[in-house]
Amino acid sequence: MENKIGFIGLGIMGKPMAQNLIKAGYSLVVYDIVKPAVDELASAGAETAKSPAELASKVETIITMLPNGPEVKEVVSGKKGILEGAKPGSTIIDMSSIAPGVSQEMARLCKKNNVRFIDAPVSGGEPKAIDGTLAIMVGCDKADFEPQVPLLKTMGASVVRTGEVGSGNVTKLANQIVVALNIAAISEAYVLATKAGVDPALVFDAIKGGLAGSTVMNVKSPMMLDRNFKPGFKIKLHIKDLANAIETGHQVGVPLPLTSTVMEMMQALKVEGKEENDHSALLNYFEKLANTEVKRG
């Protein structure tokens, strides 16, 4: 394996992912605009760079984990961006969740510079980023996939190529639709149970093993029941993902009525100043409608 990897973006997800690479024996060169995050990785043995261009000049594989498409464009192709410093034949693995069209645009630009571009967004939130069990959805040329699997498996429990560049982010958008609608359904159900006089914790215990059960239910129900909305995945980030899903749906001719409805629920929570909360706080929207509060009995 290539032992030296570049990593750009050390946020809630990126920092533990980078730490897992160090634990797996990779040497890292890191960059982020937030200095404390860089310092933390440096204390774990990572080398630091002053710009994406400088980082790219030191490695052949660069992982990016950034908030959205504009940041990916800036880091890849902006001033002192990756393409200014990248060696011919380098590979960018963008693990950000962005619009598929942006991934394809970046891939075309990289190709002109003899740089490979892979989109590999993840699902699982902060807990799975920490324990290295993310689900990683990859879009790239077939020939570019296999060489990167060992690297990606240090961060994820599953690594699946879903097609050419852009398909990884299409898959992630599908994932985010299912997660959002699942959280909304669970929230609505627990509010109904609570107001009808049934302990929602017992409802969870009773239904989690049946057809209604899901990973989303198992992860988010304890947070809801404990009223713990500390973010593993923020509402504002889910809003970003659903906006990308709706935009992509419009581009390809797919109406997304349920996605649009949950998007407006999240927008209402944003107006209330709750966009920094975990997306399990979608529960608060339904509680407000019913004038009731879900908690363990």
Integer Cα distance of 156 and 257 in angstroms: 32
- 162 within 8 A of 103, measured Cβ to Cβ: no
Phi-psi region of 197 (alpha: psi -120 to 50; beta: other; left: phi over 0): left
**β-pairing verdict for 122-123 and 134-139:** antiparallel
Active site residues: 172
**Burial per residue of 89-117, b for 16 or more beta-carbon CB atoms within 10 angstroms, e otherwise:** ebbbbbbbbbbbebbbbbbeebeeeebbb
With H, G, I as helix, E, B as strand and everything else as coil, classify residue 6: strand
Distance in angstroms (rounded) separating the CA atoms of residues 243 and 152: 27
Three-state DSSP class for residue 293? coil
| Nearest of 120, 149, 124, 154 to residue 137 by alpha carbon | 120
